[in-house]
């Protein structure tokens, strides 16, 4: 919500606006307030006043995460790769909480665990330092040109499972979108609901797909077809969805 729909509205909204915007998705007001409270405690939202009403704004760290996510979600062309690998050597974890946070957040940035506390990515990730600092971890980094065997880093990702997940997503996405479009009489609201769910389901791949360069992927990679579908349908639904959001914020 704060990234895809409220980004052009200052990453801020009144509580009443959030309730109205999430209602078409079947999310009731108590659930909205519970989610907001959880995000405040996690440091993603902060209280704000919106035209005299109580609301919440995305924090600086949240905006950074949203911008990083948007770059990956809407990336149209695979990044060019120079053949080198980025290694991250995480220092011993202070406790289980820190370890769990690293295991959760580094995959989101596009890293895979090559060995215990050794992470790898084909690209440097701008959010690495801030992410490690936020979870209370520290690390050193290195750039490696060659591995023996050469495909050792690629084996850190389960590409077979990822390919299967893309196949399932493709089979389900069109049906899910059609159901959302048919569930609302207002065409703008219908487009908003369909696009919201489309992006929500697609963004889950941020945790599992590191965006490997094409030369490291199997031939006929299903992720390419899924990406094309997401981009075409997402853009097709965007104008009407944006109209619904702007109208809801204006009339709240």
Average pLDDT over residues 213-242: 92
Here the tokens at position 4 are 């895809």
pTM reported for the whole predicted model: 0.79
pLDDT tens digits, one per residue of 84-117: 999 999 999 989 999 999 999 999 888 999 999 9
Q: Which domains does the chain have, with CATH numbers?
A: 7-62 (1.10.10), 85-144 (3.30.70), 158-251 (no CATH)
Q: How far apart are CA 13 and CA 206, in angstroms?
A: 25
Query: How confident is the model at residue 252, as a pLDDT?
Result: 52
pLDDT tens digits, one per residue of 171-192: 999 999 999 999 999 999 999 9
């Amino acid at each position: 919500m704060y990234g895809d729909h409220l980004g052009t509205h200052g990453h801020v909204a009144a509580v009443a606006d959030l309730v109205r915007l999430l209602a078409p998705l079947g999310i009731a007001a108590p659930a909205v307030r519970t989610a907001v409270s959880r995000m405040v405690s996690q440091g993603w939202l902060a209280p704000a006043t919106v035209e005299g009403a109580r609301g919440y704004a995305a924090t600086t760290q949240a905006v950074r995460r949203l911008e990083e996510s948007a770059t990956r979600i809407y990336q149209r062309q695979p990044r060019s790769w120079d053949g080198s690998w980025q290694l991250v050597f995480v220092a011993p974890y202070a406790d289980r909480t820190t370890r769990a946070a690293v295991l959760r957040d580094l995959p989101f940035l596009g890293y895979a665990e090559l060995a215990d506390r050794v992470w790898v990515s084909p690209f440097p990730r701008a959010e690495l330092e801030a992410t490690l600092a936020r979870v209370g971890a520290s690390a050193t980094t290195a750039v490696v040109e060659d591995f023996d065997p050469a495909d050792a880093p690629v084996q850190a990702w389960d590409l077979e499972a990822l390919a299967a997940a893309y196949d399932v997503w493709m089979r389900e996405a069109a049906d899910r979108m059609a159901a959302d479009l048919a569930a609302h009489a207002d065409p703008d609201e219908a487009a908003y609901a369909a696009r919201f769910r489309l992006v929500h389901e697609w963004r889950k791949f941020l945790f599992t797909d590191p965006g490997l360069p094409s030369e490291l992927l199997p031939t006929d990679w299903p992720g390419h077809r899924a990406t094309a579908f997401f981009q075409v349908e997402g853009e097709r639904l965007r104008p009407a969805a944006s109209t619904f959001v702007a109208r809801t914020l204006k009339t709240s």
